[in-house]
Structure formats: C-alpha cells, structure tokens
Amino acid sequence: MTADRQKRFFAYLIDIIPISLLVFGFFYFFLGFDIVLEKYFNRGGDIQPRIEFVKQRNWIRDISFFVWIVYCVFMESSVTQATLGKMAMGIKVVKEDGNKMSWSESLGRNLSKIISYFVLFLGFIWIFFDRNKQGWHDKMNKTYVVDKKYGCFD
C-alpha cells in the first residue's frame, strides 16, 4: 500500500530540518553569517546587507538540499530502504517490482528531485494530487513510497 501523503511530508520535515540547522549553524559559527544577520537587521536604508543576506541564505538553502539528496541516496539504497524520517513514519522506498533500489537506482531517483526543485517544487507538490501518490522523481524512476508493513503497493 502506498504511503500516506502526510507521512511522506512529515518524513521530509524530520530529515530536512536537522540538515538545514546543521548547515545554518556552520554558516553562522564558522562563515560569518552571524555578522551578515546583524548587518541585515540593522541596515537602515543600505541595500548591500540585504544582497549579502540573500546570497548566504541561498547558499544555506542549496547546500542543505544537496546534503539531503546525498543522504537520501545512501539511506534509501541501504537495507532499511528509508531515511530516518521515513523510518520514523514507518515508510520506505521500493522499485515498481517491490524490491530494494540499488545505489545507482537511488542516485537516479534522488538526482531527479533536482528537476522538481528547480520547477517551483511542482514535482514534490504533485504527490498530493497523484492517485499513486508519486512525485515526478518517483514516476521517472518507477519507484513508490510504501508502508513498511506491506512492503509493496496496491
């Protein structure tokens, strides 16, 4: 049985929030984002602090997304077939035949997420409207996210 859309969404949050916080923390404590934030909030009419803030914010967002992709590749091709968020929600990723993905298949699936990312997240939003609850990355790679207790899909 395919996993509930809400489970997929919460699994994503469980995975991405700690990753984003770690990347943010690295920028804040080691790359001067604390100073950028201070200048941004005390900028008055100066545009330069805003430009610097947007640049660093975008770096944090993009690096967090990249780290999440790499993390998903390894976790979803492992014996668990799931990220920590998916494990917490009791779901996993399977191929169309119900079997586990290889590392290269997981790489293809997760690199496909980049398309959804750059097209206004539409490939992820698609999950909420698709009758099989598949995102574009699932459709392109013939994968499903299923409840662990079933191990396959309807």
Asked, for residue 51, whether it belongs to a domain, the answer is yes
How do residues 26-65 score in pLDDT, each as one tens digit?
999 999 999 999 999 998 789 999 999 999 999 999 999 9
What Cα–Cα distance (Å) separates residue 28 from each residue in 21, 48, 145?
10, 19, 35
Number of domains composing the chain = 1
Residue 149's pLDDT band (cuts 50, 70, 90)? confident
How do residues 70-118 score in pLDDT, each as one tens digit?
999 999 999 999 999 999 999 999 999 999 999 999 999 999 999 998 8
Cα of first residue to Cα of last residue in the chain, in angstroms, is 5
Asked, for residue 126, whether it belongs to a domain, the answer is yes
Write out the two tokens for 90.
């009791």
Asked, for residue 154, whether it belongs to a domain, the answer is no
Could you tell me the residue range of the domain that residue 79 belongs to?
Answer: 5-147
Asked, for residue 111, whether it belongs to a domain, the answer is yes
Asked, for residue 141, whether it belongs to a domain, the answer is yes
The residue type of 48 is Q
The reported pTM is: 0.91
Asked, for residue 66, whether it belongs to a domain, the answer is yes
Asked, for residue 152, whether it belongs to a domain, the answer is no
Asked, for residue 72, whether it belongs to a domain, the answer is yes
Write out the two tokens for 74.
């390894």
